[in-house]
Amino acid sequence: TTPYEALYGQPLPLHLPYVSGDFGMEEVDRSLVTRELKFQVLKFHLTMSQQRMVEQANKHRYDRQFQVGDWVYLKVQPYMQLTLSTRHFTKLSFKYYGPYQLLEKVGTVAYKLALPSQLLLHPTFHVSLLNPCYEVPANVNHPPILDSSSPYCPYPAKVLDRRMIQKGNKAVVQFLIQWEQLPED
């Protein structure tokens, strides 16, 4: 369906181009000729606008291809990956981790990586999260791993208290949580 059909519930009316001189009345002929000129100008501006949008969309787009066995850097967001620990200052953390070797191509835009087993990450990533590595360094930079034995384990032990506060026009419940391996204060 077209946007016109979705909006008005009927198909777009057929536009027949007007040839001057079809009507005997001069006023009708003049208004139909101006309508046809406006329609041509509108069509021209729409195509120019579409070309500009395509040009802007394709400005930073590129086709990234890798071969099995290539080395790539991996972009991971620790605030999105719950199995990774976050740093206090995320803007100072590494942007890319690795390099890791590509094991296989999954589909058209995903690749499976040879990740260490302690990372607890799914090994398949979209091509936009991978950056080519041209020279394999001696040391590999791994993402920060969430250690369950660390004192900052994010598992709640019990609810100590709760209260209702007002946020805007809504009542919101806040909980005071006792976390495992941490004191009550």
Instruction: Give yes or no for residue 137 having a pLDDT over 70.
Output: yes
Domain boundaries, the chain: 3-57, 71-132, 148-185
The C-alpha atoms of residue 124 and residue 85 are separated, in whole angstroms, by 20
Whole-prediction pTM: 0.52
When the pLDDT of each residue in the chain is averaged and rounded to a whole number, the result is 83
- Residue 49: pLDDT band (50, 70, 90) is very high
Instruction: Give yes or no for residue 78 having a pLDDT over 70.
Output: no
The C-alpha atoms of residue 68 and residue 66 are separated, in whole angstroms, by 7
3-state secondary structure of 117: helix
Q: 10 Å Cβ neighbour count for 26? A: 8
Give the 3-state DSSP-derived string for 92-155, with helices as H, strands as E and coil as C: HCCCCEEEEEEEEEECCCEEEECCCHHHCCCCEEEHHHEEECCCCCCCCECCCECCCCCCCCCC
